A and B are shown apart, each in its own frame.
Chain A
Amino acid sequence: MVSLDASQMTTRELNSQIKELAANGTGKITISNPAARHNIAVGILTECEIEIEGSVGYYVATLLDGPRIKIDGNAGWALGENMMSGSISLTKSAGASVAASMRGGEMFIGGDAGARAGISMKGGTLIIGGDSGFLTGFMMQKGRIIVCGDVGDAAGDSMYEGTIYCGGEVGTLGADAKIEESTEGELIEIWSLLEANGISERPHFRKIVSQKNLYHYDEQERHERPLI
């Protein structure tokens, strides 16, 4: 295990150190005194384990492929943006755009998530222990978002595919979204995921999915119709 004190390093030095340690196969990297700094643990493309002791700013743990990251605190905007694989676990709340364009892996938010949680998600699983804000799952393409509490207004607006599971109330539905009942198999899987992240309650989850009415323009001009 290697400990890094963020208060003694610039962001550039910190990220360079993390990348070097991860590339050298260091088992676990601990970062103290993050002081809500932006852009910590960005662009790490090798497997490693990172623990951040404190709250972090924007774009922390982003553009990742492989690392397993634990953060003890809150996070600013875009936590875990475009993660390809690996995992992120946050003990408290996340700001806007958590898991934006996430493509794989698993992310757990212990508290609430702000607006646009899971926006443009393309894969993976985002679990939110509390509530999520406005435009959750906006233009989501694949993957699943599990919100144990309430989901804010315009939920699932313009989503293509993927599923938003809601254990509480849904504010309003976004364009082209609809609510369906979850199957027993889905519920068992969700409860199992929650248990793995330390949540023992088993609320009933409804799911928000696309109506798929916006998949195509209603009419096509003669020359647009597929002829080939």
Chain B
Amino acid sequence: MVLGSNQIWAPWVVDDIHAKADLGRYRIRGMSTHQKVTHFDDLTFLSTGLTRFPLEGYKEQCNTAVSLGGLNAENPLELDIPIYITGMSWGALSANAKTALGKAASMAGTASCTGDGGMLPAEREASDKLIYQVLPSRYGLNPNHMATAQAIEIVVGQGAKPGTGGLLMGVKVQDDVAISRDLPVGVDQRSPARHPDWLGPDDLAIKIEQLREATDWKVPIHVKLGACRVADDVKLAAKAGADGIVIDSMVAGTGASAEILLDHSGIPTVPAIVLAREALREIGLYRKVSLIASGGIRNGADVAKALALGADACAIGVAALIALNCNRDIPESNFEEEIGLPAGSCNRCHTGKCPVGIATQDPELTKRLDPDEGAERVANFLNSMTMELALLTRSLGKGDVKSLEPEDLAALTIEASIMAQVPLVGTNKVFGN
């Protein structure tokens, strides 16, 4: 036996120690965790047979529209599909990428979301429905911009790096991005982890009221949580008055994070949804306070399973970027030369050298992403996901995605049965119940 086959001192562990011995600091990268976790692939749908009838998969109507945050808001967030584009900052992403995502969301009848860098005017123009984030950093926060939003999202934590603030390396803090954030050009930006004006849930309740007053009680106020102590956090956010809660799991993506946080904090999406659902049920607010799941949503099946477990909608980030051409070997790019990794393996969003013009502020690289073409690809992807979602829903004999429920699911592993609280396939037993 040689060292390479050792479970503890695997080749990548040895390489990691070498890198840290050279650097003297934690390592940073983009994308998401490399941990193997229970995910939606560990669940399967129990479609119709003799016990219930299917709907025609390609023809019969299936309602995919959802209404979010209607508990207190005069104008809930009405979406044609239960999928929207999550908050990703102008700064982490190029202006072309943000514009493309906004256009795509409008084309698909859904919303996009600002991120930790303020509102890009082009994204506002492109997005029929824009969710405006209020983050601990307050970079670029402008009440004039907030007044134009269709929903507000207070970010408490991010699944990829819960308990910490944003991170944007100096190579991306350039020109308009630096101006918008009021930061020195080229600084390695480490955002605050705590909000500047509130600390605990009692303060949050007053903060939520403040945002309602600022927006005349018209739009929903959501709270985004990194999925960690889900049950308690969800109850506290709901009691503080949130109209919707976004649970962002440990498999969610990021433009830059300390690798140690990506791999060693938070919990996966499946148990996060179930814990949030039960927490809301316990305080009588399930299906009153909207529940939005994010982290590792890749296709219509993931969305359908998230909805069946109890979410009202899903938010996507990495999947939308991949649809934009992330990790695709486009003619203008040379991944090996420009980023040091082949297309399909790149997780170096933080370097600002994105070969496809998405995660960069370099004017030449940005040109590689045409916002109109990009928008079409992302809109196609959103439509594909929605068709997959509707197909699965009809196969379960249901004509509305809101009718999906845990009973429609079975678990393929004991771990998934425990986390999803659905029976293990071949048994009637819900493990851990």
Contact = CB atoms under 8 A, between A and B. Distances in A.
A binds B: yes
Interface of A: 11-12, 15-16, 19, 38-39, 42-43, 45, 57-59, 62-65, 77-78, 81-82, 84, 97, 100-101, 103, 116, 119-120, 122-123, 138-139, 141-142, 160-161, 214-219, 221-224, 226-228
A64 B144 CA distance: 9
A88 to B, nearest CB: 15
A101 B143 contact: no
Nearest to A101: B138
Contacts of B171: 224, 226
Contacts of A77: 197-198, 203
B259 to A, nearest CB: 11
Interface string B165-209: 000011100000000011110011010100011100001001101
A77 B207 CA distance: 11
Nearest to A139: B192
A11 B213 contact: yes
Interface stretch (B36-44, B296-304, B347-355, B410-418): B347-355
A228 B364 contact: yes
A12 B217 contact: yes
A12 B192 contact: no
Given A81-B196, A139-B196, A219-B24, 7 more contacts: A12-B213, A15-B213, A59-B197, A97-B197, A103-B141, A161-B184, A223-B348
B108 to A, nearest CB: 31
A62 B134 CA distance: 14
B143 A63 contact: yes
Interface residues of B, number: 50
B182 A228 contact: no
Interface of B: 19, 22-25, 27-28, 137-138, 141-144, 146-147, 169-171, 181-184, 187-188, 190, 192, 196-198, 203, 206-207, 209-210, 213-217, 338-340, 348, 350-353, 362, 364-365
Contact of A42 (B210, B348, B364): B210
Contacts of B213: 11-12, 15, 39, 42-43
Contacts of A81: 196-197
A223 B24 contact: no
A100 B351 contact: no
A122 B188 CA distance: 17
A115 to B, nearest CB: 10
B165 to A, nearest CB: 9
Nearest to A42: B213
Contacts of A59: 197, 206-207, 209-210
By CB atoms of chain B within 10 A, which of A19, A63, A78, A223 has the most?
A63
A216 B146 CA distance: 31
B350 A224 contact: yes
30 contacts: A12-B213, A38-B210, A39-B209, A43-B147, A43-B215, A45-B147, A58-B210, A62-B214, A63-B210, A63-B214, A64-B143, A77-B197, A77-B203, A78-B197, A82-B138, A100-B197, A103-B182, A119-B196, A122-B138, A139-B196, A215-B184, A215-B188, A217-B25, A217-B188, A219-B22, A221-B27, A224-B171, A226-B352, A228-B352, A228-B364
B188 A216 contact: yes
Query: SS class of chain A's interface: helix, strand, loop or mixed?
Result: loop
Nearest to B143: A63
Contacts of A62: 210, 214
A39 B210 contact: yes
A131 B42 CA distance: 59
Given A100-B196, A219-B23, A82 B182 contact: no
A26 B24 CA distance: 61
A146 B216 CA distance: 34
A177 to B, nearest CB: 16
Contact of A45 (B143, B183, B206): B143
Given A62-B210, A120-B138, A223 B25 contact: no
A120 B138 CA distance: 8
Given A38-B206, A223-B339, A45 B182 contact: no
A228 B365 CA distance: 9
Given A45-B143, A62-B210, A219 B197 contact: no
Nearest to A143: B182
A129 to B, nearest CB: 22
A59 B203 CA distance: 10
A160 B184 contact: yes
B216 A16 contact: yes
Contact of A227 (B19, B190, B353): B353
By CB atoms of chain A within 10 A, which of B24, B182, B188, B197 has the most?
B197
B220 to A, nearest CB: 16
A219 B25 contact: yes
A184 B209 CA distance: 45
Contacts of B24: 218-219
Given A43-B143, A43-B213, A65-B143, A221 B188 contact: no
Contacts of A138: 192, 196
A198 B190 CA distance: 39
